[in-house]
Chain A
């Protein structure tokens, strides 16, 4: 530990003003502060600060998706490690380049995007697509807006949306039958042999449902169904999500309003029955819809991103209701089988407007104070 600190101090001048590698200062800073907490102290009042910093805050999100990551290993094999590595490498490169250009520190926000992105991809997606998608998401979805804290869209969802629209065939060919059995694929690499792809490709439950075939809720709950790497097991997502709500990193208002509006609207549509839909028998039981697809993952980990969701509490409720309802509408009344990605991105679009409305009301009320 002390030796490491000595090494850091020894190489510091190279990265300082006038040093040979001054351009790489953000990278050095990120590495330094990864290992050692900064030595800065408070200047004036308040003289003490809460221990929570952005690193810790982001680590909490990573901890909360650990169950889903483990599930991805179990169901889809160790190749998922490679997906995570590629995602981090490609995204960090973009992030580091921008940090160097802007002469700012590397932000922790990326560590979340880097792990969330592979979790929402089909498990068999080619590795170059993982890299391309995350680079696109970070570049277009975040850096162009000014980096962490200033982006409008969730970068991981932008990347995923890009891949879905640019390579629909490759994406749809990347769904796989999850493993079952005691050890699952924990000890297999699960090679994607291009010739063998067709043999294992399996439609996701929502796609099957559009064809009139529905799997059982218990399978959805435990996760032994086809789907994106991290979204198949409902129980593990709920486990991690509740942990995230407990730490107050994610807003419970967003989650409750998304799931609540989704359940209410789906229930109403099923109960109404009068809704005539192109494909008969689309509406299954409410719980089935709740557990199918990426809804839970999106509600707990994607929509709750504080930067891209509204900042005001009332805004969060409206935001959640928007996302929940749009998901129901896309899933059931359009050609797409999965609507959460689009719904959350649409939610991101309306978030600033919702904020504007709520803040306007709040400020009008403040005017009469004092």
Chain B
């Protein structure tokens, strides 16, 4: 992982570039929650037989994004309150769950473009889309000012773009064309690590003659693949309309949904981290039992499972039984067990450090074994400004931290805490072990809440005023 400020560390447990197939499971546990979605509207009944690609649940707050059944099976709703359990799992011919009359209705309402977007949602490809600025699910019927397609995933460890693209380049370019057909004249920015590489040339040959695709080169430096950073770099302003962003797997899903009319049920997920015996990529479906992955890949007895990468991933608690629909990687980190004796005066040949304070800076790059240890005590900020040096968003984390310490919310807002992309680098390098990211997340939420309250208050006042004036006019009418 290379990041701003010139640090380049290697973590032990980088997934290798092959995709392995996992054995077919007998039971699937589909979590009703994932990072962005809460599938609260369950549309199947207990005991119902479902087929591959049937809709199991929807998220009414996220444009009815669907939880699809990845396999045929029998639905059990009461086994676990956070999951839809699928028993007697079998692999059937894929089947498309789209009622003809509904389609024709939509065609009348929204035209051919509307149908495509509807199909993306029903076939499970829409969940791969992000709003570049907010990270939320964009409105499928909206018009973006541009689409960013990123083939790079830099965070250790999530499924890499090059692995997913292997042997599927033509699908990818076909997906790009399908994406373009959703737009009128808006550009598609294709983000690549090296636009002169053989791989980029292949893509260029495939999409030759299409003026809408623009290639953008980014350094392989975490987190320059973040969509908010990319949008800022490309000069796409927030107030000029939404920017859709999608990764490799999303483009492949679009191709599958629109070209083949088939649902996207399989994901490529990385298995990495220090606690894994053979880090790799696996081909699984959502709901795949985590216990099976654990049995096969994890050798550490006390290990933390993380849904996502090492810097932004969420803790995968024991209450989660299966992979959720948004999972891009599972990272396994051993928990800290031994307390180090006189750790701070050791030469530190085995640990690399942002500030070159260990002997390992004289050494070539090496893979480091990380644990979940905080590696120090919490202390007040000493303004070393390491956090500012690494911050990819160009804000000043230590300043915002000090404002927050003094409860100066207005100053925090002015210091643009909203530009924070929660990449986790400031917390990572902080020698005082301050949890900066968490503080910023809380602050952002607080500011949003306050803004929302102000907006509601204004609406109420407006309503009162209108009622008042209406009453007045009635009175005048009577008189």
Contacts and interface: CB of A to CB of B under 8 A. Distances in A.
8 contacts: A36-B339, A41-B335, A44-B315, A52-B354, A109-B382, A248-B354, A312-B388, A369-B416
Closest 5 CB pairs of A and B: A53-B376, A149-B380, A46-B424, A55-B344, A37-B343
B407 interface: no
A265 B331 CA distance: 57
B419 interface: yes
A40 B336 CA distance: 8
Secondary structure of the A side of the interface?
Answer: loop
A260 B340 CA distance: 43
B197 interface: no
Contact of A246 (B351, B356, B394): B356
Q: How large is the interface on B (under 10, 10 to 19, 20 to 34, 35 or more residues)?
A: 35 or more
Contacts of A1: 341
B370 A50 contact: no
A370 B237 contact: yes
Interface residues of A, number: 54
Contacts of B386: 248
A46 B340 contact: no
B379 A149 contact: yes
Contacts of B388: 311-312
Interface of B: 11, 133, 228, 231-232, 237-238, 304, 306, 308, 310-315, 331, 333, 335-336, 339-345, 348, 351-358, 370-377, 379-386, 388, 394-396, 398-399, 414-416, 418-419, 422, 424-425, 427-433, 435, 437-438
Nearest to B308: A45
B379 A311 contact: no
Secondary structure of the B side of the interface? Answer: loop
B311 A307 contact: no
Nearest to A43: B435
Contacts of A108: 379
Among A4, A39, A56, A105, residue most surrounded by chain B Cβ atoms (within 10 Å)? A56
Interface of A: 1, 4-5, 33-57, 59-60, 105, 107-109, 147-150, 246-249, 306-307, 311-313, 359, 362-363, 366-367, 369-370
A362 B370 CA distance: 36
B240 to A, nearest CB: 11
Nearest to B383: A311
B357 A37 contact: no
B238 A370 contact: yes
A38 B374 contact: yes
Given A33-B377, A48-B372, A41 B336 contact: yes
A47 B355 contact: no
B8 to A, nearest CB: 13
Contacts of B352: 51
Contacts of B237: 370
Contacts of B340: 36-37
Contacts of A149: 379-383, 432
A57 B373 contact: no
Given A306-B385, A359-B396, 4 more contacts: A45-B311, A45-B437, A46-B424, A49-B376
A6 B287 CA distance: 45
A45 B308 CA distance: 10
